[in-house]
Structure 1
Amino acid sequence: MNENYPCDIIQDLLPGYIDEILSETGTRVVKEHLEECEKCNHVYLEMKEGLNSEEELNETLALDGFKKVQQHTKKLKITIGIFAGLLTLLLLSIFLKVFVIGELLSSHEVYATDISYDEKTESLTISGTINLSSYHISRVVWEESKEEADVVHVLVYGAETLPFQLKKTDFTISIPDMKGKTAYLASPEYDRLEVYSWENDHYEKLAELEDEIYSRLPELDKVKDALSYISGIEYVNGIEGICYYVDTVVGENASYWRFNNQLITDGDFEPQNFAVWISLDKPYQILIYNLETGEYTEDYSIIRNN
């Protein structure tokens, strides 16, 4: 054992020895002493282990701190990404709404220029235009009314026109199966304009059918018993036909007339409990529809009993 260097001095030099900052001579002296002194070597090993544990702890703390910063940064990036995505979707939806999808136009902004019904295909073709300086037609659709039978709504949507965009102001739409139906232009929610009525378009045919009914059913009085066409086409035994409600005018010297397809009387109307069905094609077939039983019959006695 080197007696020139007491254990206290050697132990004071151990931190520098562990950190390798001693001079070459100091390092040699400490090393030789540790090889000979079990006590100092034990202190050296404990001190080195403690320093290693502290370094590992510092590294762990630093690593944990880095992970926390990394997680926070990741969450921040995700939050920014979500916000940017939502903002992009919002701007895109606004753009699509204004310039692509557009809004439903009202009836005074849409004009039907040509309306034609094809007797063979039973389809209706409507051509029209809009008169809005900054708008173009984005789409034209039709839909059957959910509240009224045999009614179709034609919906015209207009969107704002971009500076470089071609302005489309005309439209044409074909609607199938329009026999016995009525078509309206624009929104059914706040306003609508009738553009086609199969009944009005075939008034001569319906007048002929009504005359046939009165001539075949003498129990009905043309002056007192008013016929009201029920919209749509009614098939009976595979045969096309239409139905009429019957309303009898009551009251002294009372009469009835029609105005805008509406029955008007200076007396009162008494609805009958039957309807009259007549085929559209000759030879005309006539059946009585009992509104109480829901059955068709050729027995005209129900008319006489009313």
Structure 2
Amino acid sequence: MNENYPCDIIQDLLPGYIDEILSETGTRVVKEHLEECEKCNHVYLEMKEGLNSEEELNETLALDGFKKVQQHTKKLKITIGIFAGLLTLLLLSIFLKVFVIGELLSSHEVNATDISYDEKTESLTISGTINLSSYHISRVVWEESKEEADVIHVLVYGAENLPFQQKKTDFTISIPNMKGKTAYLASPEYDRLEVYSWENDHYQKLAELEDEIYSRLPELDKDKDALSYISGIEYVNGIEGICYYVDTVVGENASYWRFNNQLITDGDFEPQNFAVWISLDKPYKILIYNLETGEYTEDYSIIRNN
């Protein structure tokens, strides 16, 4: 054992020896001492193992920190991606709404320029245009009214024009099965505008049917029993026809007349509990519809009993 270097001094030099920062002479002295001194060699091994464990702990902490940074970065990228995607969808939806899909135009922003009803196909064709210079027609559709039978709403949608876009401001739409129905141009609030009525277009036909009813049913008084056309076509046993409500004028010297397709009286109207159905085509067939039983019959006694 080297007696010139006691164990205390050698043990103080061990950290530098382990880190390999001693001079050649110091390294040699410590090395020779460790080869001879079991005590200092044991201290050396413990110290070296402790330093290695600390280094491993530091590396583990550094690695864990790096992983946490990676996870945080990944979450941040995902969040940014989701936000960017939602923003893109929002901008796309706004673009589509404004420039492609458009909005439902009000009736005063649309003009019906030509309306024709085909007697053979029973279809209605409506042509029109819009009054907005900065808009183009994106689509035109029709739908049946949910509240009123035999009423059709025509909906015109307009979208804003893109720069240098060729705009379309006119439209044509065909609606099938319009026999006995009425068509309106309608807006979001349904400030609708009537553009076609089968009743008005077939006024002479309806007048002819009314005359046929009065001539075939002498129990009805043309001056007192007013016939009111019920909108729509009624099929009875597969035959097309229409129905009329019957209202009788009551009151001394009372009479009735029509104004804008509305019945007006200077007395009172007393509604009857039956309606009259008549086929559209000759030879005309007439049936009585009992409003109480909901049945059609050829028994005209219900008229005499009222």
* Shorter-chain TM band: over 0.9
Cα-to-partner distance string for 1:133-191 (whole Å, 9 max, x where unaligned): 11111111111111111101001111111121101100000111111110001226241
Higher mean displacement: 1-10 or 190-199: 1-10
CA distance in 1, matches of 2:36, 2:14: 15
Higher mean C-alpha deviation, range 274-283 or range 85-94: 85-94
Q: State the Cα RMSD in Å.
A: 1.4
Q: Contact 2:154–2:184 at 8 Å: present in 1 too?
A: yes
Deviations 1:189-229 (A, max 9, x none): 24111000011111111111111111111111111111111
Secondary structure, counterpart of 2:188 in structure 1: coil
Per mean C-alpha deviation after superposition, the further-off stretch among 129-138 and 84-93 is: 84-93
Please say which of residues 24-33 and 239-248 is displaced more in the overlay. Answer: 24-33
Structure 1 residues 193 and 236: CA distance shift in structure 2, 3 A: same
TM-score, normalised by the number of residues in structure 1: 0.96
Q: Which residue of 2 aligns with 1:254?
A: 254
Q: Percent identity?
A: 97
Deviation at residue 80 of structure 1 after TM alignment: 2.1
Q: Deviations over 1:258-304 (max 9, x none)?
A: 11111111111111111111111111111111111111111111111
User: What CA distance in whole angstroms lies between the structure 1 residues aligned with 2:163 and 2:242?
Assistant: 52
Q: Is the 8 A contact 2:248 2:269 kept in 1?
A: yes
How far apart are the structure 1 equivalents of 2:82 and 2:193? 46
Task: Report the 3-state secondary structure (helix = DSSP H, G, I; strand = E; otherwise coil) of the residue aligned with 1:180.
Answer: coil
- Give the Cα–Cα distance (whole angstroms) in 2 for the partners of residues 112 and 182 of structure 1: 14
Contact 1:153 1:187 in 2 (8 A): no
Deviation at 1:240, TM superposition (A): 1.0
Structure 1 window deviating more from structure 2 (283-292 vs 11-20): it is 11-20
The answer to which of 217-226 and 71-80 deviates more is 71-80
Structure 1 window deviating more from structure 2 (231-240 vs 73-82): it is 73-82
CA distance in 2: counterparts of 1:235 and 1:179, whole angstroms: 12
Aligned residues: 306
User: Quick check: 1:136–1:168 contact (8 Å CA) kept in 2?
Assistant: yes
SS of the residue 1:27 aligns to: helix
Once the two structures are TM-superposed, the CA of residue 249 in structure 1 deviates from its matched residue by 0.8
Structure 2: distance between partners of 1:188 and 1:226: 36
Runs of 5+ in structure 2 lacking a partner? none
**SS of match in other structure, 1:124:** strand
Instruction: Single out whichever of 12-21 and 285-294 deviates more from structure 2.
Output: 12-21
Contact kept, 8 Å, 2:105 with 2:188, in 1: the verdict is no
Cα drift, residue 48 of structure 1: 1.2
- Which aligned segments of 4 or more residues in structure 1 are displaced greater than 3 angstroms? none
Secondary structure of the 1:293 match is coil
Matched-pair contact (CA < 8 Å) for 2:106–2:188: no
Distance 1:188 1:164, change over 3 A: closer
Report the Cα offset of residue 116 of structure 1. 0.8
The Cα shift of 1:257 comes to: 1.1
Partner of 2:299 in structure 1? 299
Question: How far apart, in 1, do the equivalents of 2:58 and 2:67 lie?
Answer: 14
